[in-house]
Amino acid sequence: MRDRSGSPAPRRLGARCSVTPSRSPFAYAVLRVVPDIEREEFLNAGLVLFCRSLRYLAARTSLDAERLAALQPDADIGALRDQLVLVERIAAGEIASGPLASMSQSERYHWLTTPRSTAVQPGPTHGGMTDDPAATFEHLYTTLVDGPDSREES
């Protein structure tokens, strides 16, 4: 740019630069309870999120027994809850959950999100960018697992 006299205008420092927090890539998968594999119906029951650069791995699960009963009245809710709790413990690296807990965060995330034909299955892996993986986890969990019906109304 030039000023009115035709001389180059002085460049303002920072005019085009903005400071934003560094954002890190993350990956996540929704955990699904599939009470009858042949019917391919499922219920979102948890979330696993991994952010390698910020060394963050978290999992949380919940099982809506009423919704599950609508899909499969004779589902073994206790066994399904046990499997979901084990996912949380493996993600947290709790030694009592077995040898998987001693693997690296990356290995645990990939093991937890590997497709399988069991009653608890990971959905497709998705990704994004975040500067706060814990806040991103809360947002995704509320949106994808809790859903609008489970939020308290004020």
Q: Compute the average pLDDT of residues 78-91.
A: 96
pLDDT, tens only, 104-116: 999 999 999 999 8
> Is residue 14 in some structural domain?
no
> Is residue 53 in some structural domain?
yes
Q: How far apart are CA 102 and CA 93, in angstroms?
A: 6
Helices 77-92 and 105-112 pack at an angle, to 10 degrees, of 160
Structural domain for 138, as ranges: 29-147
**pLDDT at residue number 152:** 41
Query: What's the domain count of the chain?
Result: 1
Residue 70, phi then psi, degrees to nearest 5: -70, -30
Cα separation values, 143 from 46, 47, 122, 137, 140, Å:
11, 11, 17, 10, 5
> Is residue 85 in some structural domain?
yes
pLDDT, tens only, 6-41: 666 555 555 555 555 689 999 999 999 999 888 889
> Is residue 119 in some structural domain?
yes
> Is residue 6 in some structural domain?
no
Q: How far apart are CA 103 and CA 113, in angstroms?
A: 14
> Is residue 66 in some structural domain?
yes
